[in-house]
Chains A and B, each alone.
Chain A
Amino acid sequence: MVNEMAEPLIFHFDVDGDNFTSAGQASVQVKKNLRQLGIDPETIRRVSIAMYEGEINMVIHAKGGEADVIVSDESIEIILKDTGPGIANIEQAMQEGFSTAPDNIRSLGFGAGMGLPNMKRYTDYMHIDSVVGEGTTITMRVNF
């Protein structure tokens, strides 16, 4: 970090699940906020790609949700929480190429089964907490 922070900074977003066109707006805003904080571009890119994939997932599968980004001295943490259908088999969902996205999503450039693997690839820590029928919370961390 450029500046020592006494308190972690928290950015909160409601992710609108009704409209695929607007998916990704929160991630774009986070990217802007992190730039203003003077965080190095590689860290910003990793955070924003991971969050963007997660945000797209929330819109495709869970009709939106909530996103929190917590910037502390040690890391940037992204928490994505939805009340969607949940993930039945997390191990399977983590495999590249596995997707349950509907066909129309593929014609929009997503749904190739790369979202969760990409999120893991770009972060130092990722945990999926999911209950079928209740929802999913994904916690990711990128360390400085």
Chain B
Amino acid sequence: MTINTVKELLEAEVLCSSESLETEIHSACGSDMMSDVLAYVKDQAVLLTGLVNAQVIRTAEMMDMKCVVFVRSKRPSADMLELAQESGIAVMTTARRMYDACGILYSNGLKGNGE
């Protein structure tokens, strides 16, 4: 699916990098622990998280991720959005909680293993 499809499925609000919404993504992961993201994720393009700090964006950047989704309507700071913009990472926020957001994407075909 595209990043735009993620946005529509999660009824999310895009906060930056809206020019990359047509980017195709093939897998995702959900975690509040950045060390776990760095340990287990491979070729996953979307990070769903309830954690809000600059390290979320840097972790996504390190993993070559394309999109960060903040759950439970959490909103990143302007500094974080600037970091994401520099890295070409799309950022959005959804009112959905983590479990629901992951479930919606998964049941629409976005798997976790990159296959």
Number of residues on chain A facing chain B (CB within 8 A): 26
Question: Smallest CB-CB separation from B49: which chain A residue?
Answer: A109
| One of A74-82, A87-95, A114-122, A126-134 at the interface | A114-122
B115 close to chain A: CB less than 8 A: no
Question: Smallest CB-CB separation from B86: which chain A residue?
Answer: A28
**Complex formed: what's the CA distance from A118 to B38 in Å?**
7
| A109/B51 in contact, CB under 8 A | yes
Question: Smallest CB-CB separation from B64: which chain A residue?
Answer: A45
Kindly list chain B residues whose C-beta atoms are within 8 Å of the C-beta of A112: 33, 35-36
Apart from A22-B54, A109-B53, 19 more pairs, CB < 8 Å: A20-B55, A21-B54, A23-B55, A24-B58, A27-B62, A28-B62, A48-B62, A52-B38, A53-B38, A108-B55, A109-B34, A109-B35, A109-B55, A110-B33, A111-B35, A114-B36, A114-B39, A117-B39, A118-B39
Chain B interface main SS type:
helix
Cβ-defined partner of B53 (8 Å) among A31, A108, A121: A108
| A21/B53 in contact, CB under 8 A | yes
Kindly list chain B residues whose C-beta atoms are within 8 Å of the C-beta of A142: none
Question: Smallest CB-CB separation from A114: which chain B residue?
Answer: B35
B57 CB to nearest A CB, Å: 9
Kindly list chain A residues whose C-beta atoms are within 8 Å of the C-beta of B56: 109
A69 close to chain B: CB less than 8 A: no
**Complex formed: what's the CA distance from A49 to B35 in Å?**
10
Kindly list chain A residues whose C-beta atoms are within 8 Å of the C-beta of B87: 28
The 8 A CB mask of B34-56 against A (1 = contact, 0 = none) is 11101100000000000101111
**Complex formed: what's the CA distance from A115 to B36 in Å?**
9
